[in-house]
Structure 1
């Protein structure tokens, strides 16, 4: 009855996961060494055992013992103990910087064969590893597998060499599973789905040699591997590799996957640990046949990523990478790497989704040299408390620029009613200001989203800069009807003189008409000339001279635009910035004025008055000739061009 009740209770217990039922070897046994060691009679062997590099482990006792029915008898320890029968032919040495200790035994006998343990501490307590020693008479001994002790979430680097004869043969890495070997990666571009984006195979300089890199090592990656040339089980050669993954408490666990919104940005973190500052650190995109370098800490940036990627040095030996202006083609795997023998790498997958970037603004801005330009960046409420910044991008980083946040301080101001805009202003842009500018948010040393804008600076037009400065058009040829009036009065004077002479010829006997006619004409011309002169004088009294030009604008109008013209010392006008809700500042260029209109405007002021005065003199001369009885008609007067 009790047994039935126990079985009934077990039925309601939750089923254990595979991970909990089968604890990883590294989790239950952090010390690692060779499974099998081979030695020749009268020869020697060297056994290397690895341990987690904690401060306790570095200073704790290391030992080598032999298993028996009653326990494990100590043979050697770092405390100086050597068992009888091993003195003079056995030693143990600790290498804490290399995270291992090594046992050397010489003058092997057949009695030395057996099962041993290498461990840390005063007893087994889980910090030990079982090693089998086999002693044979030879003539050859099998080669044991090469050992690899890898931290969780770090990188495994393997080098394999098989000679020049296999230079053109297929290279591969496979993992032993029962009676087969699962292909991980090969030189034909085949990669197992569980290792896509994590494994990379590349040829080395020595013919027949190649290297395999696997990033983000997990518990499941522990086990026996074969690197080889040819085809497993058919032809070629192989080399056995024994890989052990262990956990270290202070190893940062990077994100294996990052999701970014199309058009926005993402941030990657590369943790390099204690590496030399002179080591080249770079960031690349994984391919089946290599890793395409994007940026490194020497200033290199791939041309395809100019203005899109930047590298920032952060505390704790961390480098932050920001990639913005995201596109669908950016999906893939990205690696943090170093150029050193013991490389440190990590890989992260990037996925792109549709959506709207949180930071918004105009991505392409064009302005003329000397003009005023504002680059605007609006942000949502979720970034209200973040630091906002503008910086100018270069291949060595992004230099901060002084910018103004339009948010208004005060207890009554809320995010829903505030002007959430950051502005980078240029009072007078130059060609040196052209380039990429980033608007971004950050909190402390953690970088957040960014937005990129490109400022294009052009030379501008070569028209009348003074007129464009005031923002007015040049006076037209017919403005004030002064020029046409001058020419009309000149024609009227000629026609009047001709009419007077005709009247004189047809009414010769009428002396009164002959005398009064010319006098009336002279008076009419004098009155007309006086009226024109007074009109031009009054008109000139309200003109403003700018340099060598004169424009028809009153002094009151000039005062109203004085402040506007002070901030624009180039040939352009601009609209006012949209306040709340505005995403960008639109700059509109004033149309250039033609040289012909300027020339005509200049002639319509002074030269037309001179033209009217010349016409008056010619007419007076002709009238005088007519009054003296001359027969010739008045000559035609053509307006000056």
Structure 2
């Protein structure tokens, strides 16, 4: 979980202010230092250690542009009399005391920053497929449940907001992007539909704590167009009968959990059935699944079909809980009449026998 904290520190000549900052390994922190407008032309610095033996991490006289030095970057915004320091790829060794300040003719005016880096497992990357959908799960501490959340795409140290949410439970939608803040679980869900390769890139999930302080998790979204898998399947079934499905998935997901979810209206996954082991059927129910990892094939049966069973999705779930929806399954449900009930019953029985035979063949393999 990449974390960035944003603070505004007021530097008054002769006065040293202090603040504590918490970051997470693999993430980063951003610190905003405000200075007097009379010092816009002076050099700005960010150093580590006790004063006056403070080891410079970054020092520059450049104005209104980003300057980089290793994991550190600095931007001096002379119009706002604020300079911003960002530390990326944090490790526990980055913990310590820092100073951000200005060199005013050999006199250093600064603010003290006490940084503590906590070990964590950040989101590194999420994979999706062209024509499909993806759900990204972001877990946050409960103390942040009432804060506004943002989801945005990053470029050149800037974050272009895609969507934000300021209420619990309900989905906030903007075109192909949706966000749901489940505050009872401390979980932010991001849903992106109709993926294409242009959606690939760096993204951020931001929690705004106050006007001065926010933090975010950054990850890489990778969208591929894999030849192994069809994007959509159309099937037919008689009402009350059964229908069999078969979905291929990429080899890179062999060890992942496979699922089939039912879409109802705007709700992408109203109900979901998953299978976690290879060559084992999921528990009995309306939906039964079987994962043949040798053939990279998810098969199964949907019983007691109704008109509501018009759309399903086959997909995979990573060990961090992110879900990639790969193949859309459209089912055309035909009505049955009393005169054809025996035929429907026979068809249902045949379909059931087909699934049992398929199960037997898979087991023999």
* TM-score grouping bracket, smaller chain normalisation: 0.5 to 0.7
Question: What is the aligned partner in structure 2 of residue 451 from structure 1?
Answer: 326
Q: Does residue 336 of the first structure (1) align with residue 209 of the second (2)?
A: no
Name the residue aligned to 1:260. 127
Query: Is residue 420 of structure 1 aligned with residue 298 of structure 2?
Result: yes
Displacement of 1:333 after TM fit? 2.0
Structure 1 unpaired stretches of 5+: 1-139, 409-413, 471-545, 547-557, 568-575, 581-641
Distance 1:242 1:426, change over 3 A: farther
Paired residue secondary structure (2:343): helix
**How far did 1:440 drift?**
3.2
Q: Paired residue for 1:407?
A: 290
- The 3-state SS of whatever aligns with 1:181 is strand
**Structure 2 residue 307 is matched with structure 1 residue 429:** yes
Q: Between Structure 1 and Structure 2, whose CA radius of gyration is higher?
A: 1
Query: Following TM superposition, by how much is the alpha carbon of 1:400 offset from its aligned partner in structure 2, in angstroms?
Result: 1.1
Question: What is the deviation of 1:305?
Answer: 2.8
Change (3 A) 1:178 1:444: closer
Q: Give the 5 Å matches for 1:103-142.
A: 142=14
Question: 1:446 Cα shift?
Answer: 3.7
**Please, which of 110, 115, 119 is the counterpart of residue 240 of structure 1?**
110
Is 1:299 the equivalent of 2:171?
Answer: yes
Tell me the equivalent position of 1:389.
Answer: 260
CA distance, structure 1, for counterparts of residue 160 and residue 28 of structure 2: 15
Residue 406 of structure 1 contacts residue 421 of structure 1 at CA under 8 Å; is this kept in 2?
A: yes
- CA apart distance, 1:144: 2.8
How has the CA–CA distance of structure 1 residues 239 and 292 changed in structure 2, closer, same or farther, with 3 Å as cutoff? farther
By how many angstroms is 1:284 displaced? 2.4
1:181 counterpart = 2:72: no
Q: How much does 1:290 deviate?
A: 3.0
Counterpart CA distance in 2 for 1:286 and 1:364 is 35
- Residues 1:173 and 1:345: Cα distance change in structure 2 (over 3 Å): farther
- With over 3 angstroms needed to count, the CA separation of the structure-2 counterparts of 1:351 and 1:270, relative to structure 1, is same
1:293, distance to aligned residue in structure 2 (A) = 3.1
Distance in 1 separating the partners of 2:31 and 2:57: 23
Structure 1 residues 221-240: aligned runs within 5 Å: 223-226=98-101, 240=110
SS at 2:14 equivalent? coil
Gap change, CA 1:390 and 1:200, over 3 Å in 2: farther
Whether the 8 Å contact between 2:260 and 2:272 is mirrored in structure 1 is yes
Corresponding residue number in structure 1 for 2:216: 345
Deviation track 1:488-522 (CA, whole Å, cap 9, x = no partner) reads xxxxxxxxxxxxxxxxxxxxxxxxxxxxxxxxxxx
CA distance in structure 2 between the partners assigned to 1:173 and 1:452 by the alignment: 53
| C-alpha deviation, 1:335, in angstroms | 1.7
Give the Å deviation of 1:303. 0.8
Give 1:451 shift.
2.3
In the other structure, the counterpart of 2:315 is 440
Normalised by the size of structure 1, how large is the TM-score? 0.35
- Say if 2:139 and 2:188, in contact at 8 Å, map to a contact too: yes
TM-score, structure 2 normalization: 0.54
- Report if the CA contact (8 A) 1:200-1:212 is conserved: yes
Distance in 1, Cα, partners of 2:215 & 2:18: 20
- After superposition, the C-alpha distances for 1:94-125 in whole angstroms (9 at most, x for unaligned) are xxxxxxxxxxxxxxxxxxxxxxxxxxxxxxxx
Residue 311 of structure 1 deviates from its aligned partner by 5.3
Q: CA deviation at 1:224?
A: 3.8
Q: Pick the structure with more strand per residue.
A: 2
CA contact (8 A) 2:95 2:116 kept: no
Distance in 1 separating the partners of 2:116 and 2:303: 54
C-alpha displacement of 1:566: 10
The CA RMSD measured in Å over matched residues stands at 6.0
- Distance 1:149-1:401 versus aligned 2 partners, 3 A rule: closer
1:398 aligns with 2:266: no
User: Equivalent residue of 2:176, what SS?
Assistant: helix
Contact 2:128 2:221 in 1 (8 A): no
Contact 1:440 1:450 in 2 (8 A): yes
Match of 1:563 in 2: 343
Q: Secondary structure at the match of 2:214?
A: coil
Match of 2:151 among 273, 283, 289: 283
Question: Structure 2, unaligned stretches of length 5 or more?
Answer: 1-11, 48-54, 274-285, 348-353, 359-365
Q: Which has the higher contact order (CA 8 A, sep 6+)?
A: 2
Q: 1:151 to 1:337 in 2, by over 3 A?
A: same
The Cα of 1:300 is off from its aligned counterpart by 0.9
Q: Are the counterparts in 2 of residues 367 and 373 from structure 1 also a CA contact under 8 Å?
A: no
**Number of residue pairs matched?**
304
SS of residue matched to 2:172: coil
Q: 1:443 to 1:241 in 2, by over 3 A?
A: same
Cα distance in 1, alignment partners of residues 268 and 188 from structure 2: 12
Deviation at 1:191, TM superposition (A): 6.6
**Tell me, what secondary structure is at the counterpart of 1:329?**
helix
Superposition deviation, residue 272 in structure 1: 1.9
CA contact (8 A) 1:151 1:217 kept: no
